[in-house]
Structure 1
């Protein structure tokens, strides 16, 4: 950690200074980073704004990695309060576009061909610029109109540096700040880092886009751009140009059919979730376009959600239980989704769910927000220290985006009417006797396979035990604390021994000098000073070593 801190010292200083400026000086102090703060003249700490706004401004100032961190954190409404979530959802990338010559250089290096050999025309002015890359309009030699997304130069190195620093800071924070463990920030960061590294690789985004496009072709509710794989790499993504407008601009006055658009969009999204289990993870209005023929097209598949068949079936049961105000169904679904922990107090959880049922029993179904209801259920799980899977938090964010878009385009549409058929299909599939028999057959085959190899595995265990080669691994939760305590005791003992040695040496020199009257070589030397110097050096060296270890 120390080597990385020295290597990234200037970035540590930027982060510590930004934290201090936006009113988080207590965190800087608790992490022991006050010496890294660079106070700028004429710049006063932001203290008047709300904490949520200060967090957003802080992340925007620290750049792409931290903006992306905030965007991922905005999906975890089960962990953070609404005021922070609403601010994080407004995070913006304040980044300028990079020069066309760099764009040209990256494309030619990636495609191993000159720009004119790949494109009949290429617009030097970008359509949009973001933290990861920027988009240009172009035309292929074959005549198709496309958009080309090019990854920003050096962005991978910047993001990896920031990820290393954040990981170091979280390790420090876990030891010193109790609320870090409470909000599960380390787990959230691991999830965030994985998502961000995937966004850096345009090949993954291309695969996601193609998968959504192909699985949506049969129903035709929505579509996605076509990917041109011959012109796409890890740093360059070429896809078909969408001739349309943002969904918020598709108004009746502009000649569009908002109700039809809203219905197609919602059905398409729920089909992705409940039929295919693979869906767009961030369908905000900027990622939803509408063509002149009122066709909905999704773009930007850097973030996607995944739901297993079993999770989809349990989710359908949860939604049916929610709308039928059936606490038992909701509780069983949460157990089936493995959200509720075995050691949780199930009676207390059931009582909290029952209180939620009573609340919704007083409301008309049309008044119930699906996103809010799911959020309250996840809040109950979090209250009882149960971890909601990241796939469900991405789902929740997507459902929230769907509800907002429906409220804007067609307030009269009821989301329950759109989602109900998908839910009932999943429940029927769950109890389908043919599928149940097939599943039982597969499980029986797995069991027989396990039983077949069991005797051989037991023989290996017995032979290893006879040769005294049987290893047993133990996990003791307090082992790290025990090791830490032993280090403390050892260092303090070493400290005491050095102090004792220092005292004995000094006493021997002084007593020896006072008892002898003869002039010896030792007496003619500044032995007291030399002894004091050596002992002092050893003393300071061991103290520095102990303090540096952080275990004193």
Structure 2
């Protein structure tokens, strides 16, 4: 940790100073890093009493640059973790960064594609169409005549992100040690999730792969398309795709010759097919990433963020939709458990009460007026109240549903989103109970069982080898050890009780039998040792009974 701080000292100071500057000085004090601020920052501290905490968070992230902006944009998808007023500000995050020079863009292009720019393109516009924190886009024409856009990653952005992520991880680890609420909110786990997504997003090969996959899926979807990816002109830092000649979806109005209702229906149908049929969908369908052609067809761009849903997750969604539609609390609970949202330690009675309360919210509301996105977000909020972690792809789904509903309600207020999604829900429910799916599942489980059996002799042999070498270790927690000792105590006490009781019974039986066999007193019965023995045995019996019951381990 200390090595990181020395290595990135200047950047550490920038981050700590910015935290103090935007009114988060208490956090800096709690971390013990107040003396790490840059000199003179005390006089720069803003009097931000007129700004909300959410707005100050947004301004802080924008000032700290690309890594923090992207982290904030990813955080804006987590309605299960952050309050709505914070999410609203995070959604307003802007990449206020200047474009980099044509000379730098040319160097990156030629290094990545291993050829002079004049050979690569028939023409290349030195002025970027748009610039963002990760890269910028230029329009160009290939030697074969196709009009394309070329996305070029910002110089040195990989090193900048790597540095910032190392510092953020360091600060969060320090915060977990010194600030109680940080550990309670599991911020370090959330950071690792976001960091992984960010590293994936800045690799343009991933975006090209995702675009190609959605393009293949779209072959079955009428009126929704993706740009053509030119692999020969793409790499980790460069992405070349066909130029999209279209109108931003929210600007495709009746006045401009578009059929708004048709556009809204085609967009929603295409997105729901990605989600419910294919289980692989565009994770950021905001208006800037959706264009409409003159034929009212939909074109999606920018595939840096995608969501994935397994078959089991899709069928659990069908169960969830079914439970919501029928307002059946137990079905909704079953769906939450099958999605692995709810952990086994949850208080089921309290969870059912909260879901019942949520059900009453929608009780008298017609299905056509229910917002699926809002209902899903409400469910996530209930799960969060019970300390349940929402899988990242489900939060991505919630974000996508909100965007879809927002666009549809803007374009065609009279179109009920439930009417578009209902056929997909029915299809999933039918698929869920399809005998062929059940047979395939059984076949897979049998195959897995055979595989396990095949490896069993090898695993047993390895375990025995470990035993012979003394390598086998058994891990027992303190709690488990206490329980074990308690059980052993109970068993031993019961055994002692039984032995004493048996001895006492044998002696008493001997005395009774001996007395009954003869009418005359025998020498044995005249010996006072019998009475003494009986007295001692009785006292021992009573003492053991008292000791056992006193220990509470009977």
2:3 paired with 1:3: yes
- Point out the structure with max Rg over C-alpha: 2
Report Cα offsets for 1:409-446 as digits up to 9, x if no partner: 00111111111111111111111112211211221222
Report Cα offsets for 1:449-482 as digits up to 9, x if no partner: 32333244223323431332324456889xxxxx
Q: Matched residue of 2:70: which SS?
A: helix
Supply the distance in 2 between the matched residues of 1:57 and 1:404 (Cα, whole angstroms). 26
Confirm or deny: 8 A CA contact 2:80 2:380 kept in the other structure.
yes
The corresponding residue for 1:435 is 437
The corresponding residue for 1:100 is 102
Supply the distance in 1 between the matched residues of 2:99 and 2:3 (Cα, whole angstroms). 33
The corresponding residue for 1:26 is 26
Supply the distance in 1 between the matched residues of 2:44 and 2:15 (Cα, whole angstroms). 19
Confirm or deny: 8 A CA contact 1:213 1:223 kept in the other structure.
yes
How many Å apart are 1:12 and its aligned residue? 1.1
Change in 2 beyond 3 A, CA 1:216/1:476:
farther
How many Å apart are 1:10 and its aligned residue? 1.2
Supply the distance in 1 between the matched residues of 2:156 and 2:49 (Cα, whole angstroms). 34
The corresponding residue for 2:266 is 264
2:121 paired with 1:88: no
The corresponding residue for 1:180 is 182
Supply the distance in 1 between the matched residues of 2:77 and 2:477 (Cα, whole angstroms). 33
Confirm or deny: 8 A CA contact 2:341 2:390 kept in the other structure.
yes
Confirm or deny: 8 A CA contact 1:221 1:267 kept in the other structure.
no
Aligned length: 477
Change in 2 beyond 3 A, CA 1:466/1:148:
same
Supply the distance in 2 between the matched residues of 1:8 and 1:466 (Cα, whole angstroms). 50
How many Å apart are 1:342 and its aligned residue? 0.6
How many Å apart are 1:248 and its aligned residue? 1.2
2:349 paired with 1:347: yes
Report Cα offsets for 1:149-188 as digits up to 9, x if no partner: 0000011111111000000000011111122123221111
Supply the distance in 1 between the matched residues of 2:244 and 2:187 (Cα, whole angstroms). 38
The corresponding residue for 1:318 is 320
The corresponding residue for 1:503 is none
Taking the TM superposition and a 5 Å limit, the aligned residue runs for 1:38-437 are 38=38, 39-40=40-41, 41=43, 44-437=46-439
Confirm or deny: 8 A CA contact 2:261 2:412 kept in the other structure.
yes
The corresponding residue for 2:15 is 15
Supply the distance in 2 between the matched residues of 1:450 and 1:8 (Cα, whole angstroms). 49
Supply the distance in 2 between the matched residues of 1:466 and 1:162 (Cα, whole angstroms). 49
The corresponding residue for 1:530 is none
The corresponding residue for 1:464 is 466
Confirm or deny: 8 A CA contact 1:281 1:394 kept in the other structure.
yes
What's the TM-score, normalizing by structure 1?
Answer: 0.84
Q: Matched residue of 1:361: which SS?
A: coil
**Larger displacement relative to structure 2 (39-48 or 207-216):** 39-48
Supply the distance in 2 between the matched residues of 1:374 and 1:476 (Cα, whole angstroms). 41
Change in 2 beyond 3 A, CA 1:475/1:263:
farther
Supply the distance in 1 between the matched residues of 2:433 and 2:158 (Cα, whole angstroms). 48
Supply the distance in 1 between the matched residues of 2:119 and 2:442 (Cα, whole angstroms). 57
Supply the distance in 2 between the matched residues of 1:136 and 1:474 (Cα, whole angstroms). 61
How many Å apart are 1:337 and its aligned residue? 0.7
Report Cα offsets for 1:323-355 as digits up to 9, x if no partner: 221111111101111111111111111111011
**Larger displacement relative to structure 2 (397-406 or 174-183):** 174-183
How many Å apart are 1:45 and its aligned residue? 3.7
Q: Matched residue of 2:379: which SS?
A: helix
Report Cα offsets for 1:193-222 as digits up to 9, x if no partner: 111111111000000011111111222241
Supply the distance in 2 between the matched residues of 1:30 and 1:464 (Cα, whole angstroms). 48
Supply the distance in 1 between the matched residues of 2:18 and 2:427 (Cα, whole angstroms). 52
Q: Matched residue of 2:140: which SS?
A: strand
Confirm or deny: 8 A CA contact 1:325 1:361 kept in the other structure.
yes
The corresponding residue for 1:35 is 35
Supply the distance in 1 between the matched residues of 2:476 and 2:292 (Cα, whole angstroms). 58
How many Å apart are 1:321 and its aligned residue? 0.9
Q: Matched residue of 2:254: which SS?
A: coil
Supply the distance in 1 between the matched residues of 2:455 and 2:108 (Cα, whole angstroms). 54
Q: Matched residue of 2:362: which SS?
A: helix
Change in 2 beyond 3 A, CA 1:476/1:419:
farther
Change in 2 beyond 3 A, CA 1:125/1:473:
farther
How many Å apart are 1:244 and its aligned residue? 0.6
Supply the distance in 2 between the matched residues of 1:420 and 1:10 (Cα, whole angstroms). 55
Supply the distance in 2 between the matched residues of 1:475 and 1:439 (Cα, whole angstroms). 37
Confirm or deny: 8 A CA contact 1:266 1:402 kept in the other structure.
yes
Q: Matched residue of 1:142: which SS?
A: coil
What's the TM-score, normalizing by structure 2?
Answer: 0.84
